[in-house]
Amino acid sequence: MINFSQFSKNKIESLFEKSLQLKTLTNAQNFSPSTALNPSEPLVQVGRGQTAALLFFEPSTRTRFSFEAACARAGYHPMVLDGGIGTSLEKGETVTDTILNIEAMRPLFFVIRCNNDLNLQEVAKGLSVPVINAGWGLQGHPTQALLDTLSLFEKWQSLTKKKILFVGDVKHSRVVASHFELSQILNYEIGICAPTEFLPTSEKHENFKYFEKLEDALEWADAVMALRVQKERHDGSFFDVVNYRKKFGLNSERLSKVSPKTLIMHPGPINYGVELEKEVLNDPRSLVLQQVENGVFLREALIRNLFKETL
Ligand code: CP
């Protein structure tokens, strides 16, 4: 799963149903220790202690831990590479050789986060087991887009014709790149509100609706996703935080004028005081931590279905 090329609307919606079923069963289990000792059929450990390789060549908290949790819950033992410190990458071994050597240890699947220097598509073609993209350079972050839309599906039961607004650093966002693809499958609309230097450059984004003023964009949206300003991907040019926060930051005052039904999201990690104020997390419309919670169930459902013909 490098992108959504093999995914239909039906397939994705059944993945969502499965994720929510896992969530319901888990929540029920938490209240009843006896069910934890006697798991029902859908919670069977399909991995049976086999290994999965989780290779994170770039930093991660949410994606890495949720894949680890998902592996544990599904019965796979995760072998984790976290940034490469303490591995032979430090001795100059290449990323490609690292992957080949870990493949020789026969994990049943790979989860890989890497930068643009690696052609993940080509790497996946060369491996004999499935590869899940856990964030690849600027190319995409499909499981993030899925957990975002799962969180909306949980509220709305369908994404069709819904309006999702992305505010901020769209240009450097692999999350938006994946939403562009996913929106074509699930039929939701995408709006963008961003300063000129953060606007996407690809003509692929022509179908987006663009807003200059955040107030107009918020009025249009059914859900708004603030994006992290990705300073590490910028070219070092001056970034005016004060002006950005004033024009594009989400805060209680601004959101008090927005419909009580408009949902508020962020893929994380958050730069508080830049794209979003901490107080927004307490807004009853905020899904930020539900996105993280749903990320475990979405990834668990994905892993449980990896070796099935259909989802
Ligand atoms: N949203 C996301 O990918 O977060 P991490 O970088 O912490 O995994």
Q: Does ligand 1 have an atom closer than 6 angstroms to the CB of 83?
A: no
Residue with CA closest to ligand 1 atom 3 = 63
Beta strands in 161-270 (DSSP E): 163-167, 189-193, 209-211, 223-226, 263-265
Q: Does ligand 1 have an atom closer than 6 angstroms to the CB of 268?
A: yes
Ligand 1 centroid, distance to 142 Cα (angstroms): 12
Domains of the chain are 9-141+292-306 (3.40.50.1370), 142-287 (3.40.50.1370)
Q: Which two tokens stand for residue 69?
A: 């949790």
Q: Does ligand 1 have an atom closer than 6 angstroms to the CB of 149?
A: no
Q: Are the C-beta atoms of 38 and 65 separated by less than 8 Å? A: no
Ligand 1 centroid, distance to 143 Cα (angstroms): 10
Q: Which atom of ligand 1 is nearest to the CA of 63?
A: 8
Ligand 1 centroid, distance to 181 Cα (angstroms): 19
What's the pLDDT at 45? 86
Which portions of the chain are predicted below pLDDT 50?
310-311
Q: Does ligand 1 have an atom closer than 6 angstroms to the CB of 135?
A: yes
Q: How many CB atoms lie within 10 A of CB 184?
A: 13
Looking at the DSSP assignment, which residues form a beta bridge with residue 259?
A: none
Q: Does ligand 1 have an atom closer than 6 angstroms to the CB of 3?
A: no
Backbone angles phi, psi at 156, to 5 degrees: -110, -15
What's the pLDDT at 232? 72
HSE, side-chain direction, 13 A CA sphere, residue 122: 5
Residue with CA closest to ligand 1 atom 4 = 62
Q: Does ligand 1 have an atom closer than 6 angstroms to the CB of 140?
A: no
d(CA 117, CA 94) in angstroms, rounded, equals 11
| H runs (alpha helix) in the chain | 9-31, 33-37, 62-74, 95-103, 120-126, 142-156, 174-186, 214-220, 241-248, 252-255, 288-304
Q: Does ligand 1 have an atom closer than 6 angstroms to the CB of 269?
A: yes
Q: How many CB atoms lie within 10 A of CB 91?
A: 6
Ligand 1 centroid, distance to 135 Cα (angstroms): 8
| Tens-place pLDDT, residues 130-169 | 999 999 999 999 999 999 999 999 999 999 999 999 999 9
d(CA 297, CA 20) in angstroms, rounded, equals 7
| Tens-place pLDDT, residues 261-277 | 999 999 999 999 999 99
Ligand 1 centroid, distance to 34 Cα (angstroms): 34
Residue with CA closest to ligand 1 atom 6 = 60
Cβ contacts of 251-256, under 8 Å, gap ≥ 24 = 251/276, 251/277, 251/279, 251/280, 252/277, 252/279, 252/280, 252/283, 254/214, 254/215, 254/218, 255/218, 255/280, 255/283, 255/285
